């Protein structure tokens, strides 16, 4: 009997492997918030069970109607300031005078908390976009991303673009210093002397920029080390000198920054309104199949980048692998290896597979425009996966090639550990 | 663990990030839910979201409505927990609810095809295993979609989730003999349809030779 089931078991294993274990961590966070919000709402009703059912039915109906009628209205997004929950208004300045955090709570569960003496202004707050101008100091953000509202924190000449994240941003206007650290999700930081298309930060990434000295450090030494050396985080261990990156034919970074498709509705439940863009964006299954089979490399590339930006790791992975298969000798195929590493690292939660793809990029394009970043991310991924020997080996290799590179500080830390 | 992910100098984030409640016992979770305690609801989600997510993810094949179905599972748990006689059997009971919720969802879709609002099955024709091998995930789930709902579920539980017959029996409410019979039937139904598929027929050709 065992030989009868072996082909099915093998097929089943491959299907399980291809599917993965479930959605991304960020999706699970959204599920959690959605569920607890409903629990909280139902607590106010006299009949808990009935309210849960009615709320669920009403929410589903609202989402379905939103899809059918393509509701695109841009409504104000209410927010409240402080523990007293005073209603806020667009254009309003907010300053944290006391030692305690000053929270700004937005409808939908997002929160931006100003540290002591921080000052910020809410430029825009509606369902399409929330833009906050951080004049000085530090904010801690927990953004409940819904793929519908674009969040931006402007800090001097820099902008932090957010989808659904927990992170901090600190801006020192007197010294033009920016500090961004991500503990969940990802952000894109643009502006000033950064790359033309910004620096994307994922979980655990920490960016420090000194605009005066043109210093940029990604994942510098850890807080515990820095804090003992200097109370002022931004003037901790020496930052690195980085020439503003001038990358020719840089396949990854010469793409326009993908913008989220506007007015996607109901995404906390996983339902998406039809995208407003005319070109296929991967949400239409039949179109995607057709594109995978017959689309040109540039169209497929756009789909992959959009999927990645939307944190749709499965689609991004499939399209990138198709590019590598159908357009083997193209530059996109080379870059796809690097991007696959990023997808497996950030969206699929598979550090070893990510490492494999970074290594493949380095094998195929040892002098490619992303070689330095691939090597930097390679030892970083091994480090996070707990493979100290591999992390040390590649960190050593990185420092030999790029002693003043973007990841040099992290490499030294890995070797020290 | 949320608190564990915070760095020392950003402990302010704790004010906006919920604490992990994985360590509440099942009886405490059940009694808390019956008493409409929000902490118990949070503990329920934290403790069981991985299990529920994986089960729904694989039964429906990384579906676009995945979040809705997971949400429905947890809401159903809330509304039905008062009927759970043995709190210590919470994990198996939750598995049963997840499977029943997916079963209802699959059946409902057969009546909802007129809307064409949702894609039923995975977002791409071919998916790739971590070793780079192409896996015809969509074709597999297309065939599963043609089968009876119970056959679909049993097939995924046995061959994708790698459940034993005993586990399938427990989670689907079958006797062991029935579970064995259902697995055999699901396999037969899958073979019948896979033979007509150019890619899948190659994968199961060895089964044909045995027969």
Question: What is the C-alpha to C-alpha distance for residues A240 and A230, in angstroms, rounded to an integer?
Answer: 17
Between the alpha carbon of residue A36 and those of residues A29, A304, B37, B166, the distances in Å are 11, 33, 11, 34
Q: Average the pLDDT over B181-207 and give the result.
A: 83
Location of structure tokens 């019956």: B34
Structure tokens at A83: 């523990």
- Which is more confidently placed, A408 or A145? A408
B123 to A314: CB separation less than 8 angstroms, yes or no: yes
Chain B residues near residue A103 by CB distance under 8 angstroms: 15-16
Q: Which of A8, A17, A32 sits opposite B49 (nearest CB)?
A: A32
In SS3 terms, A59-95 reads as HHHHHHHHHHHCCCCCCECCEEECCCCEECCCCCEEE
Name which of B159, B205, B206 to mutate to probe chain A: the one with the most chain A Cβ atoms within 10 A of its Cβ: B159
Question: What is the C-alpha to C-alpha distance for residues A212 and A20, in angstroms, rounded to an integer?
Answer: 45
- Which is more confidently placed, A288 or A69? A288
A270 to B36: CB separation less than 8 angstroms, yes or no: no
Neighbour tally for B170: CB within 10 Å: 17
Return the pLDDT at A65: 53
Q: Which residue on chain A is closest to B137 by alpha carbon?
A: A15
Return the pLDDT at B152: 94
Return the pLDDT at A416: 84
Structure tokens at A62: 């609202």
CA distance B15 to chain A (A): 9
Q: Which residue on chain B is closest to A138 by alpha carbon?
A: B10
Q: Which of B63, B121, B124 sits opposite A318 (nearest CB)?
A: B124
Q: Which residue on chain A is closest to B122 by alpha carbon?
A: A285
B71 to A35: CB separation less than 8 angstroms, yes or no: yes
Name which of B4, B12, B185 to mutate to probe chain A: the one with the most chain A Cβ atoms within 10 A of its Cβ: B12
- Which is more confidently placed, B4 or B127? B127
User: Using 50, 70 and 90 to split pLDDT, how confident is the model at B27?
Assistant: very high
CA distance A111 to chain B (A): 7
Return the pLDDT at A163: 63
A49 to B16: CB separation less than 8 angstroms, yes or no: no
Task: With a cut of 80, say whether residue A69 has pLDDT above it.
Answer: no
Chain A residues near residue B53 by CB distance under 8 angstroms: 21-23, 28, 31
Percent of chain A at pLDDT exceeding 70: 69
Q: Most confidently modeled of A37-41, A187-191, A271-275, A353-357? A: A353-357
A20 to B57: CB separation less than 8 angstroms, yes or no: yes
Range A257-292 burial, b when 16+ CB lie within 10 A, else e: ebebbbbbbbbbbbbbbebeeeebbbbebeebeebb
- List CB contacts of A330: < 8 A, sequence separation 6 or more: A297, A323
Q: Which of B15, B38, B62 sits opposite A314 (nearest CB)?
A: B62
Return the pLDDT at B168: 93
The per-residue pLDDT for range A388-400, each reduced to its tens digit, is: 889 999 999 999 9
Lowest-confidence pick of A37-51, B10-24, B160-174? B10-24
B57 to A21: CB separation less than 8 angstroms, yes or no: yes
- List CB contacts of B49: < 8 A, sequence separation 6 or more: A28, A31, A32, B70
A&B contacts, CB < 8 Å:
222
Q: Which of A35, A183, A284 sits opposite B10 (nearest CB)?
A: A183
- Answer for the pair B165, B177: CB distance below 8 angstroms, yes or no: no
The per-residue pLDDT for range A272-287, each reduced to its tens digit, is: 333 333 334 444 566 7
Q: Which residue on chain B is closest to A25 by alpha carbon?
A: B50
Q: Which of B18, B67, B74 sits opposite A268 (nearest CB)?
A: B67
User: Using 50, 70 and 90 to split pLDDT, how confident is the model at A74?
Assistant: low
Question: What is the C-alpha to C-alpha distance for residues A18 and B140, in angstroms, rounded to an integer?
Answer: 12
Location of structure tokens 């019948």: B192
Task: Tell me the Ramachandran region of residue B147: left when phi exceeds 0, alpha when psi lies from -120 to 50, beta otherwise.
Answer: beta
CA distance A136 to chain B (A): 17
Chain B residues near residue A13 by CB distance under 8 angstroms: 162
Neighbour tally for A397: CB within 10 Å: 15
B5 to A184: CB separation less than 8 angstroms, yes or no: yes
CA distance A246 to chain B (A): 33
User: Using 50, 70 and 90 to split pLDDT, how confident is the model at A68?
Assistant: very low
Q: Which of B15, B45, B67 sits opposite A27 (nearest CB)?
A: B67
User: Using 50, 70 and 90 to split pLDDT, how confident is the model at B7?
Assistant: very low
Across chain A, mean pLDDT equals 72
Instruction: Report phi then psi at A159, rounded to 5.
Output: -135, 135
Percent of chain A at pLDDT exceeding 90: 6
The per-residue pLDDT for range A293-312, each reduced to its tens digit, is: 888 888 888 888 877 766 67
Return the pLDDT at A397: 92
Chain B residues near residue A31 by CB distance under 8 angstroms: 45, 49, 53, 67, 70-71
- Which is more confidently placed, B185 or A36? B185
Neighbour tally for A393: CB within 10 Å: 16
Q: Which residue on chain A is closest to B72 by alpha carbon?
A: A56
CA distance B26 to chain A (A): 18
Task: With a cut of 80, say whether residue A227 has pLDDT above it.
Answer: no
Lowest-confidence pick of A209-223, A234-248, B65-79, B195-209? A234-248
Chain A residues near residue B61 by CB distance under 8 angstroms: 19
B203 to A315: CB separation less than 8 angstroms, yes or no: no
CA distance A2 to chain B (A): 11
Q: Which residue on chain B is closest to A341 by alpha carbon?
A: B130
Residues paired with residue A174 on neighbouring β-strands, in sequence order: none
Q: Which of B16, B53, B123 sits opposite A285 (nearest CB)?
A: B123
User: Using 50, 70 and 90 to split pLDDT, how confident is the model at A44?
Assistant: low
CA distance B190 to chain A (A): 10
CA distance A22 to chain B (A): 5
């Amino acid at each position: 009997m065992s030989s009868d089931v072996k082909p099915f078991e093998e097929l089943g294993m491959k299907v399980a492997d291809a599917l993965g274990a479930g959605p991304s961590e960020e999706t699970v966070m959204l599920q959690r918030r959605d569920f607890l919000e409903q629990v909280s709402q139902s607590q106010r009703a006299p009949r808990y069970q009935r309210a849960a059912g009615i709320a669920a039915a009403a929410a589903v109906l609202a989402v379905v109607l939103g899809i059918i009628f393509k509701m695109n209205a841009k409504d104000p997004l209410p927010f409240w300031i402080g523990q007293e929950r005073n209603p806020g208004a667009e254009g309003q300045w907010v300053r944290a005078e006391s030692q305690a955090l000053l929270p700004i709570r937005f409808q939908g569960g997002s929160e931006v908390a100003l540290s002591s003496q921080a000052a910020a202004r809410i430029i825009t707050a509606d369902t399409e976009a929330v833009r906050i101008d951080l004049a000085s100091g530090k904010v801690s953000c927990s953004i409940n991303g819904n793929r519908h509202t674009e969040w931006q924190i402007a800090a001097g000449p820099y902008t932090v673009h957010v989808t659904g994240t927990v992170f901090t941003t600190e801006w020192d206007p007197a010294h033009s210093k920016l500090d961004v650290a991500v503990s969940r999700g990802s952000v894109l930081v643009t502006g000033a002397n950064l790359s033309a298309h910004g620096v994307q930060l994922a979980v655990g990434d920490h960016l420090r920029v000194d605009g005066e000295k043109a210093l940029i450090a990604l994942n510098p030494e850890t807080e515990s080390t820095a804090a003992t050396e200097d109370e002022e985080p931004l003037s901790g261990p020496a930052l690195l000198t980085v020439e503003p990156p001038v990358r020719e034919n840089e396949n990854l970074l010469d793409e326009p920054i993908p913008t989220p498709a506007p007015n996607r509705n109901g995404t906390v439940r996983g339902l998406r309104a039809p995208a407003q863009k005319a070109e296929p964006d991967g949400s239409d299954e039949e179109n995607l199949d057709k594109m995978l089979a017959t689309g040109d490399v540039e169209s497929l590339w756009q789909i992959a980048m959009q999927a990645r930006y939307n944190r749709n790791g499965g689609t991004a992975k499939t399209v990138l692998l198709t590019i590598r298969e159908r357009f083997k000798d193209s530059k996109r195929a080379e870059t796809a290896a690097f991007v696959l590493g990023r997808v497996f690292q950030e969206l699929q939660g598979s550090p070893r597979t990510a490492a494999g793809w970074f290594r493949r990029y380095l094998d195929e394009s040892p002098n490619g425009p992303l070689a330095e970043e691939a090597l930097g991310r390679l030892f970083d991924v091994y480090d996070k996966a707990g493979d100290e020997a591999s992390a040390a080996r590649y960190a050593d290799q990185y420092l030999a090639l790029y002693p003043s590179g973007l990841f040099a500080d992290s490499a030294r830390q890995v070797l020290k550990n | 663990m949320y608190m564990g992910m915070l760095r020392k100098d950003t402990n302010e984030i704790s004010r906006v990030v919920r604490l992990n409640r994985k360590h509440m016992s099942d009886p405490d979770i059940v009694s808390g839910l019956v008493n409409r305690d929000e902490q118990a609801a949070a503990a329920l989600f934290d403790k069981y979201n991985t299990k529920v997510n994986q089960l729904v993810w694989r039964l429906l094949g990384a579906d676009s409505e995945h979040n809705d179905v997971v949400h429905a599972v947890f809401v159903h748990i809330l509304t039905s927990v008062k009927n759970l006689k043995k709190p210590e059997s919470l994990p198996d009971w939750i598995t049963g609810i997840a499977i029943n919720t997916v079963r209802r969802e699959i059946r409902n879709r057969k009546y909802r095809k007129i809307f064409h609002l949702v894609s039923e099955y995975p977002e791409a024709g071919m998916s790739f295993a971590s070793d780079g091998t192409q896996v015809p995930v969509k074709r597999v789930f297309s065939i599963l979609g043609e089968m009876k709902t119970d056959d679909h579920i049993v097939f995924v539980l046995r061959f994708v989730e790698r459940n034993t017959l005993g586990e399938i029996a427990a989670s689907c409410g079958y006797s062991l003999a029935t579970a064995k019979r259902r697995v055999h039937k699901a396999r037969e139904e899958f073979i019948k349809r896979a033979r007509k598929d150019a890619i899948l027929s190659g994968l199961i050709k060895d089964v044909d030779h045995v027969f």
